Amino acid sequence: MRNTKSAGTISSWSTTSPEPSGYFYTVEDILNRDFAAVHKPAFEATASTVDDAATRTAAENKTWPMLIGKQREFYNKVVVALGSPTPLAEANKKVTETLRLMQTYTQLGFATALESDDLMHGLLFGKNILPGDYVHPQAPYGEQLADAHITQMFTRALSAYNQCNTPLGTPCGTNYVNPQSYNQSSSYVADCITSSTPGAPGDMMGNCLHYLASSAPRSSPLSTRCTRSGSPPAPTPRASPTSRPW
């Protein structure tokens, strides 16, 4: 980028008493000072766009393995933190305790609705259960999620990067890994929105958990059933054991 403005005085020094004083501007100082008002507009006014496929491909081939390596490092940190005495593990414990309290209070306070309402039962005990690291043994046979299924979700996500044969945190050597679909429960594949939503952490699996816990598919229907007018509404009839959808 050609010079668009004189840098002016870049250094000044005085040796007069009581003590020497002065300043010296580096090239970085001059660029930072004038970039937004002078250099950037001048560059944009004269620059041209070149779409070179070979250059773009070369950049992608360097960038994607680096990003995949960072994703792998991130999920490794999450898995380690969930299994250690950390703030993340404590937060996960509170989420699980909240789920267990919801299960217990619903059994005690809305036992009839819980027995007859297919949706309520599925959100608290079925395969559409709210996220937590505990699954009540009342889950339908064959549809129980593994205990610690939040932790297992991130553990399986990390396993998706087993094809990376490079040190942790370095470029992976592959251009694509999908932790959402790697041996995950259907709750974390078909039902999830992995794009970032307000309040979501930003990674695919974290976004998925945030969506399941805070949006319409799970928490809203359960809240509607349990809190309207202080009592549950007329329940939706549950399917028979032979035709139960889950």
Task: State pLDDT tens for residues 80-127.
Answer: 999 899 999 999 888 888 888 888 888 888 788 777 777 777 777 776
Residue 153 within a domain: yes
Residue 243 within a domain: no
- Same-domain pairing of 33 and 111: no
List pLDDT tens digits, range 50-85. 888 998 889 888 898 999 999 999 999 999 999 899
State the Cα–Cα distance between residues 64 and 217, nearest whole angstrom: 33
Cβ atoms < 10 Å from Cβ of 128? 22
- Same-domain pairing of 144 and 174: yes
Number of structural domains the chain divides into = 2
- Same-domain pairing of 102 and 192: yes
Residue 64 within a domain: yes
- Same-domain pairing of 87 and 40: no
Mean pLDDT for the stretch of residues 12-23:
67
- Same-domain pairing of 89 and 201: yes
- Same-domain pairing of 83 and 20: no
Give me the pLDDT at residue 181, please: 74
State the Cα–Cα distance between residues 26 and 11, nearest whole angstrom: 9
Residue 188 within a domain: yes
- Same-domain pairing of 28 and 89: no
State the Cα–Cα distance between residues 174 and 153, nearest whole angstrom: 22
- Same-domain pairing of 64 and 95: yes
State the Cα–Cα distance between residues 173 and 158, nearest whole angstrom: 16
Give me the pLDDT at residue 81, please: 95
Give me the pLDDT at residue 14, please: 63
Mean pLDDT for the stretch of residues 29-58:
85
Sorting pLDDT into bands at 50, 70 and 90, what band is 232?
very low
Q: Lowest-confidence range among 118-127, 165-174, 179-188, 212-221?
A: 212-221
- Same-domain pairing of 31 and 112: no
Q: Across all residues in the chain, what is the average pLDDT?
A: 75
Please indicate, yes or no, whether the overall pTM of this predicted structure exceeds 0.75: no
Range of the domain at 86: 60-230
Residue 51 within a domain: no
Q: Lowest-confidence range among 61-65, 151-155, 182-186?
A: 182-186
- Same-domain pairing of 79 and 38: no
* Residue 102 backbone phi and psi in degrees, to 5: -60, -45
Residue 216 within a domain: yes
142: pLDDT strictly greater than 70: no
Q: Which residues contact 146 (CB under 8 A, 6 or more apart)?
A: 135, 152
- Same-domain pairing of 162 and 220: yes
Where is pLDDT greater, at 211 or 69? 69
- Same-domain pairing of 35 and 112: no
